[in-house]
Amino acid sequence: MAGGSAISGLVGARVHRKEDRKILTGTGRYVDDVQERGMLHAHFLRSTVPHARIVSIDVSKALEVEGVVRIFTGADMSAIADDLNFAQPIPGLHSPSYPAIARDVVRFVGEPVAMIVAESRYIAEDAAELIEVEYDELPPVMSTKAAMAEGAPQLFGDVVPGNIVHTDEQLFGDIEAAFAQADHIVTDTLDQHRWACNPMETRGGVATYDRGSGQLTYEASTQTTHTLRFLLAGWVRHPIHQFRVIANNIGGGFGLKFSAYREDVAVCAAAKAIGGTVKWVEDRNEHLIAAGAAREEQLTLEAAVKADGQLLGLRVTMDLDAGAYPINPPATVYTGLVRTTLPGPYRLPAYQFRHNIVATNKASYISLRGPWAVETLVRERLMDKIARTCGISPVEVRRRNLITLADQPTKMITNVTLENVTAAETFEKLVSMIDFDEVRREQEEARARGKLLGFGLGTFIEPAPGTKDFWAAVGFPFGAEPARIRIEIDGKVTVFTPQTPHGQSHETTLSQLVADELGVGFDDVRVVYGDTDATPFSMLGTGGSRAATMASGAVVYGSRELKKRVLDIASHLLEANVDDLQIVDGVISVKGAPGAQVPLAQIAMGCWLAPEQMPPGTNTELEYVASYDGEGGGFSQASHACWVEIDQETGDVEVKRFLVVEDCGKMINPAIVDGQVIGGVAMGIGGMLLEHSAYSEDGQYLSATFMDYLMPTAPEIPDIEIEHLEYESDKVIGSRGVGEGGTVLAPAALLNAIDDALAQAGGGRVTTTPVTPTRVLELLGVIEPD
């Protein structure tokens, strides 16, 4: 399409991933692969009650177990480590600090109350069973409704009544006038359930304290090494210049590993106190109970609409169940993301948004792939309801409200710049690929078989990486991205990035970019990440779909600067104009004169070993730190269509077909983009139909194993059909992130399809998730709701 990127060649090719060699052969290094001499193992004894005062804790019998080295209670840990404090200068935000190990009160099932350090994990677990804890139980608060009710038990003494840790309301445009002009007021609600990240590799880390040097090293499974180092050094009272954080291979994150956790603090503090190495890797039961979860929000929407489906105004109230303890980033970032993004790619003249962030007796609310996703879910379902109210099709209601390229540049109602946004174009392409007459014919045939066939669609924009005014509206720093590029003495190239990949294939894509820019071989580029002693400083790491734009920009700019330097040197050596030179396969030559050439390795060797002998006036420094500001940033976009079949006897929902039209700009590696889209859609489908971090009314966790917490497998996911647009702007970096889009939009298309199927049988509309077979049968009127 329009525009054109300045990068070509390897970029855009389906290059095999560099990461696959070590991952598929089992030669990668994950946290559980770390085996240090004299290494000890940690295990956490966790609370079995959701809310209680700790009356006493007796560890005497556990200390007698052979192989137990040390046991840390809350009091022990507080003597060597500060409480975790995530307070931010956000007006009205209550962010209570809390100890790494519970000291006086426990506030959710799974909260650590003691840490056993022993010669093996088995010994530590056995010893934990001998620890006696006496609790004075308090009433648990297990929902936002219960937490905000009059007279509700208070989780924290310094939090305002109602357990509301933050509340805010923002108004954009003349909302009263919008509703006064409306022909219809369309209302909708959604109570979205809590679900978890569940990466293949759970949380974990190995902390080593070198008593000779005073160096503390933490090898962890983390998305952001520099942030983890910055926070942990303060909490464990250790000089940051003697604190190193390393992340090698990481078995997935999905947002979970963006934060620093109390277990990280405890493990590092214990290693320092003992003077050795302590390892902790949570098992799946710990992960499900204690690592945290997300997506538990309740939203109410009121839309002011003209008779033809035109949006005039929107009122939204959002309640977010934050769990017991704050985590990084603050929950105001999530509500800010929802508030800012909810208008999406639609024209909306007036908008009012109110939120309540509420503390309950559950594990912390954490970041989960596309943490703003509920905005797309409720908006796209509202668009379908508006269509039914106005008597038009779901396609037509979107066409009448979508912002097209011809409308841009423009501003969202939330004061965010939209430029080069092609959501409307992806939607039109999606519609052109669907035979709607065939859809209705198939629905009639399905009903004749006793099945219900539903069809749903949706569209959205993804801040990937977003714009500066977008992140200012959210209340989170945008930040430039650094990278250090070095041409080595042999002409090969090393890239140092603060990105910490955990499945996104940064080693491959960044190598493609650098190889193209410098004219070297793909395998002649090495990418170094995950080491705070080596990589440039960044508090953001990998998250928010930044890498495709921001990390790419940094390495491209860095490569271009080094290319300029070596060509300047070569121009003197070859007695040619710089503009007449090219680098191909690591050899600099004069275009059209292949005999006039010099190897890049020869120039590199001269610069490193004898810089004084290089042409005078040239820059012989072959290491450069570049910084990229994103050129204003931008958005990815996509439209999805989903076909489902519902069995009226069992309530089973089968996804029959799923179609994606996406536009992330210039694709660096289409195979990687396809993998991200497919994985995201699978996660979105699983989150809506299967996964549920469920609690009982008395606060017990009900989904503590994969027997109860259901994950999608191959039979539940159809082949995902993908069409790419690749609209490019005139910016140097025309690539946008794509890692979160499938998880954000797939639930909306899926639920719209389920609603469509239920409507054919006169059933109710989904307002509560997950959409289990039982809930489907309730909506069909086959069984009575609980």
- The residues, any chain, with a CB within 8 Å of residue 643's CB and separated by 6 or more, are 439, 453, 454, 455, 655, 656, 657, 658, 753
- The residues, any chain, with a CB within 8 Å of residue 773's CB and separated by 6 or more, are 650, 651, 652, 653
319: β partners: 298, 356
- Over residues 82-139, the pLDDT tens digits come to 999 999 999 999 999 999 999 999 999 999 999 999 999 999 999 999 999 999 999 9
pTM: 0.96
pLDDT for res 6: 43
Q: Is the pLDDT of residue 5 over 90?
A: no
**Would you place residue 276 in the very low, low, confident or very high pLDDT band (cuts 50, 70, 90)?**
very high
- Over residues 135-190, the pLDDT tens digits come to 999 999 999 999 999 999 999 987 777 899 999 999 999 999 999 999 999 999 99
The lowest-confidence range among 2-6, 14-18, 80-84, 700-704 is 2-6
pLDDT, mean of residues 553-580: 97
Sign for the CA dihedral angle at 214, 217, 218, 224 comes to positive
pLDDT for res 633: 92
Q: How many percent of the chain have pLDDT more than 90?
A: 95
pLDDT, mean of residues 564-584: 97
pLDDT for res 302: 98
pLDDT for res 438: 96
- Over residues 437-478, the pLDDT tens digits come to 999 999 999 988 888 999 999 999 999 999 999 999 999 888
Q: Is the pLDDT of residue 670 over 60?
A: yes
Averaged pLDDT of the chain: 96
Strand order in the sheet with 581-584: 581-584, 587-590, 593-599
pLDDT for res 284: 98
pLDDT for res 786: 77
- Over residues 198-247, the pLDDT tens digits come to 999 999 999 999 999 999 999 999 999 999 999 999 999 999 999 999 99
pLDDT, mean of residues 524-545: 95
Domains of the chain: 20-27+480-628 (3.30.365.10), 34-138+197-290 (3.90.1170.50), 297-473+631-779 (3.30.365.10)
- Over residues 21-44, the pLDDT tens digits come to 999 999 999 999 999 999 999 999
Q: Is the pLDDT of residue 254 over 90?
A: yes
The DSSP call for residue 81 is: S
pLDDT for res 479: 87
Cα(127)–Cα(380) distance, integer angstroms: 52
Residue 522: C-alpha distances to residues 43, 400, 494 (Å): 43, 47, 12
pLDDT, mean of residues 284-289: 98
pLDDT for res 4: 37
- The full DSSP string for 637-696 is EEEEEEEEEEETTT--EEEEEEEEEEE-BS-S-HHHHHHHHHHHHHHHHHHHHT----B-
Q: Is the pLDDT of residue 729 over 90?
A: no
648 within 8 A of 627, measured Cβ to Cβ: no
- Over residues 704-721, the pLDDT tens digits come to 999 999 999 999 999 999
737 within 8 A of 547, measured Cβ to Cβ: yes
**Would you place residue 8 in the very low, low, confident or very high pLDDT band (cuts 50, 70, 90)?**
low
- Over residues 309-366, the pLDDT tens digits come to 999 999 999 999 999 999 999 999 999 999 999 999 999 999 999 999 999 999 999 9
- The full DSSP string for 684-735 is HHHHHHT----B-TTS-BS--STTTS----GGGSPPEEEEE-----SSS--B
Q: What are phi and psi of 125, to 5 degrees?
A: -65, -40
Q: Is the pLDDT of residue 785 over 70?
A: yes
Q: What are phi and psi of 307, to 5 degrees?
A: -60, -30
pLDDT for res 3: 36
Radius of gyration of the chain (CA): 28
- Over residues 494-503, the pLDDT tens digits come to 999 999 999 9
